[in-house]
């Protein structure tokens, strides 16, 4: 996949080739939308159109196309990424402000993620928030067989050419620091070419770009077509039912209408929410042009550089090979604790530690539109922490302090207090600013631990606005707009502390037979 730069004419549709109608129309060609399209094709769907605002000229994963340092910069510094766009404004800077946006290209964030496959935890996947049927499909059994989580993880481990370990690690391979036990998370990653040091994470583009029936269907026998560089500006309805979309050519501004039997929103949380707000408001289903429940993960951490002569050889050896591990979340922090170990250019050991925790859906997170004569409506985001989130912030800091204290004790280092001398609502340092300092020449400041927090929105895990059981029914269809469906993190009632990719992939697969019915 990493050697391919174009989808090819048998799969794509230009503006001039756009059909007037399709059986199923998917808005958005990112992780969730393309996964749905791939499974629809496998299930025999013969008229699926994916409309994506981004171009298809570059389909390589960012860590396959670049060296590690360049790829890391593209991920943490949005200005270095030519595909980054921010189609909204923030009313609560720095949250959902600088560094928050979309990666507008065919493949979307599937070409950036690190392949981590963690499910929503049991303490967040409960009947108080998720419909029982969805819980059962995700975690217990789907269509009389294995659960969706197990199926997706198994398939992606096979793609990765790895055994499906589920994240377990032998005791002699786990990294123990006091009461913390770190294991390697299951990851859908593999080398980007024989003998290559670069790597790539799974993208649903593999369905069409790698050897197999779909990739070899040059005659056009597959049931999916992808239309790149075309923006969806509105959903069409007739008598309250969704039956198509209005699309716009990104260069000429020309518009067309495409009718569809079923429309699926998969354009990323905020863009899908904009389309939902426009539709709900104009059909009289929402008096206010807004939806609440917007969340991102709450993330805080620290970086430190350590002299290798002060550390045991086995730890330096593991750092030389690279360590990316996590301690599963539990307790008051509702967070997973991650560590990233490596050796710097000067030979020192670089330790990055962070807690990724759940933000609760509430009225604090709002996506608002300004009704206008022209589509698309402008979007403003406001967000904040509720009382439970504030407790999570403090619990994360306590957990990070405990880890650092245990680390110093474990390796005989002089303990230096881990101080968070800022409010989460207005962080003095972010991961981006710390990483940028690490790229500079003077790194002596990092001989002491330096703390940071990520503004909401910059984790690119935003979701919650179109939650199943609230805005959607358990079939992932809008309760008030028949024929309109959604996939992606926007539909999660709760995120838990896990990154959203495994659940997004699973819910895309779950929607396939519901659309085919």
Greatest mean pLDDT among 204-213, 286-295, 326-335, 417-426 lies in 286-295
Residues 247 and 375 in one domain: yes
- Spell out the residues 6+ positions from residue 387 whose beta carbon is closer than 8 angstroms to its own: none
Mean pLDDT of 292-304: 96
Q: Give the domain-ending residue among 402, 426, 454.
A: 454
pLDDT at 443 over 60: no
The boundaries of the domain holding residue 405 are: 298-362+386-454
Residues 312 and 285 in one domain: no
Tell me the pLDDT tens digit for each residue of 40-79.
999 999 999 999 999 998 999 999 999 888 898 888 888 8
In a domain, 14, yes or no: no
Question: What is the pLDDT confidence band of residue 10, given thresholds at 50, 70 and 90?
Answer: confident
What pLDDT does residue 195 have? 67
Residues 62 and 116 in one domain: yes
In a domain, 177, yes or no: no
Residue found by looking up tokens 């770009």 in the block: 209
Tell me the pLDDT tens digit for each residue of 425-435.
888 888 888 87
Residues 97 and 55 in one domain: yes
The dihedral formed by the CA atoms of 21, 484, 26 and 230, expressed in degrees to the nearest 10? 70
Please, which residues bridge with residue 420 across strands? none
Q: How far is CA 5 from the centre of its chain?
A: 23
For 402-429, the DSSP string reads: HHHHHHHHHTTPPP------S-TTS-S-
Mean pLDDT of 81-104: 94
Q: Look at residues 120, 232, 224 and name the one whose alpha carbon lies nearest to residue 502.
A: 120
Residues 436 and 480 in one domain: no
Higher-confidence residue of 444 and 397: namely 397
In a domain, 6, yes or no: no
Residues 505 and 436 in one domain: no
The pLDDT mean for the chain works out to 91
What pLDDT does residue 284 have? 95
Locate 101 and state its tokens: 């946006």
Mean pLDDT of 204-210: 93
- Spell out the residues 6+ positions from residue 213 whose beta carbon is closer than 8 angstroms to its own: none
In a domain, 109, yes or no: yes
Q: How many domains, in total, are found in the chain?
A: 2
Q: Give the domain-ending residue among 422, 454, 486.
A: 454
Rounded Cα distance, 516 and 493, in Å: 24
What pLDDT does residue 221 have? 52
Residues 91 and 119 in one domain: yes
Locate 494 and state its tokens: 């709760």
What pLDDT does residue 429 have? 86
Task: Name the 3-class secondary structure at 457.
Answer: coil
Residues 234 and 116 in one domain: yes
Residues 84 and 112 in one domain: yes
Summary count for the chain: helices (H), strands (E): 11, 22
Tell me the pLDDT tens digit for each residue of 455-496.
999 999 999 999 999 999 999 999 999 999 999 999 999 999
Locate 351 and state its tokens: 């330790």
Task: Name the 3-class secondary structure at 9.
Answer: coil
110, 300, 357, 396, 431 from 420: Cα distances, Å: 33, 9, 17, 11, 14
Pairing label, strands 224-227, 48-51: parallel
Residues 210 and 284 in one domain: yes
Residues 358, 124 contacting (CB under 8 angstroms): yes
Residues 35 and 103 in one domain: yes
pLDDT at 2 over 50: no
In a domain, 335, yes or no: yes
In a domain, 318, yes or no: yes
Question: What is the pLDDT confidence band of residue 440, given thresholds at 50, 70 and 90?
Answer: low
What pLDDT does residue 162 have? 64
Q: Give the domain-ending residue among 430, 454, 478.
A: 454
Mean pLDDT of 340-364: 92
- Spell out the residues 6+ positions from residue 481 whose beta carbon is closer than 8 angstroms to its own: 235, 237, 240, 241, 242, 276, 279, 280, 283, 285
What pLDDT does residue 75 have? 84
pLDDT at 167 over 90: no
Indicate which CATH number applies to the domain containing 106. 3.50.50.60
What pLDDT does residue 505 have? 98
**Greatest extent of the chain over all pairs of C-alpha atoms, in Å:** 73
In a domain, 8, yes or no: no
90, 93, 251 from 426: Cα distances, Å: 14, 8, 38
């Amino acid at each position: 996949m990493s050697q391919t730069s174009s989808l090819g004419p048998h799969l794509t549709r230009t503006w001039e080739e756009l059909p007037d109608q399709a059986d199923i129309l998917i808005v958005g060609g990112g992780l969730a939308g393309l996964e749905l399209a791939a499974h629809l094709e496998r299930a025999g769907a013969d008229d699926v159109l994916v409309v994506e605002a981004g171009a298809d000229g570059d389909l390589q994963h960012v860590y396959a196309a670049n060296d590690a340092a360049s790829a890391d910069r593209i991920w943490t510094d949005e200005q270095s990424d030519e595909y980054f766009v921010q189609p909204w404004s923030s009313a609560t800077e720095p949250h959902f402000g600088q560094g928050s946006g979309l990666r507008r290209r065919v493949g979307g964030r599937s070409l950036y993620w690190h392949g981590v496959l963690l499910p929503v935890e049991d303490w967040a996947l409960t009947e108080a928030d998720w419909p029982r049927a969805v819980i059962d499909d995700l975690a217990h059994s789907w269509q009389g067989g294995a659960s969706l989580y197990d199926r997706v993880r198994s398939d992606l481990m096979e793609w990765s050419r790895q055994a499906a370990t589920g994240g377990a690690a032998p005791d002699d391979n786990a990294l123990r620091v006091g009461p913390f036990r770190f294991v390697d998370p299951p990851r859908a990653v593999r080398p980007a070419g024989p003998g290559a040091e670069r790597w790539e994470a799974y993208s649903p583009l593999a369905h069409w770009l790698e050897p197999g029936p779909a990739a070899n269907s040059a005659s056009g026998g597959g049931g999916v077509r992808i239309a790149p560089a075309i923006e969806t500006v509105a959903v069409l309805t007739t008598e309250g039912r969704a039956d198509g979309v209005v699309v716009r050519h990104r260069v000429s501004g020309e518009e067309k209408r495409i009718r569809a039997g079923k429309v699926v929103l998969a354009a990323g949380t905020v863009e899908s929410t904009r389309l939902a707000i426009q539709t709900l408001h104009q059909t009289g289903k929402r008096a206010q042009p807004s939806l609440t429940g917007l969340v991102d993960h709450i993330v805080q951490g620290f970086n430190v550089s350590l002299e290798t002569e002060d550390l045991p050889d086995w730890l330096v050896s593991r750092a030389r090979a690279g360590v990316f591990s996590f301690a599963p979340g539990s307790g008051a922090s509702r967070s997973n604790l991650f560590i990233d170990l490596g050796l710097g250019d000067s030979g020192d050991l670089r330790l990055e530690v962070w807690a990724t925790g759940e933000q609760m859906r509430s009225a604090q997170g709002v996506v608002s539109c300004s009704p206008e004569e022209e589509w698309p409506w402008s979007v403003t985001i406001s967000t904040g922490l509720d009382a439970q989130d504030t407790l999570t912030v403090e619990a994360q800091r306590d957990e990070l302090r405990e880890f650092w204290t245990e680390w110093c004790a474990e390796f005989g280092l002089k303990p230096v207090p881990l101080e968070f001398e800022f409010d989460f609502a207005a962080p003095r340092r972010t991961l981006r600013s710390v990483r940028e300092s690490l790229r500079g020449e003077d790194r002596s400041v990092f001989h002491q631990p330096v703390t940071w927090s990520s503004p909401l929105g910059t984790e690119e895990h935003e979701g919650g606005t179109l939650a199943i059981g609230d805005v959607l029914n358990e079939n992932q269809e809008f309760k008030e707009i028949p024929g309109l469906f959604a996939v992606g993190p926007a539909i999660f009632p709760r995120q838990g502390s896990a990154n959203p990719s495994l659940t997004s992939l699973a819910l895309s697969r779950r929607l396939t037979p519901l659309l085919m019915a």
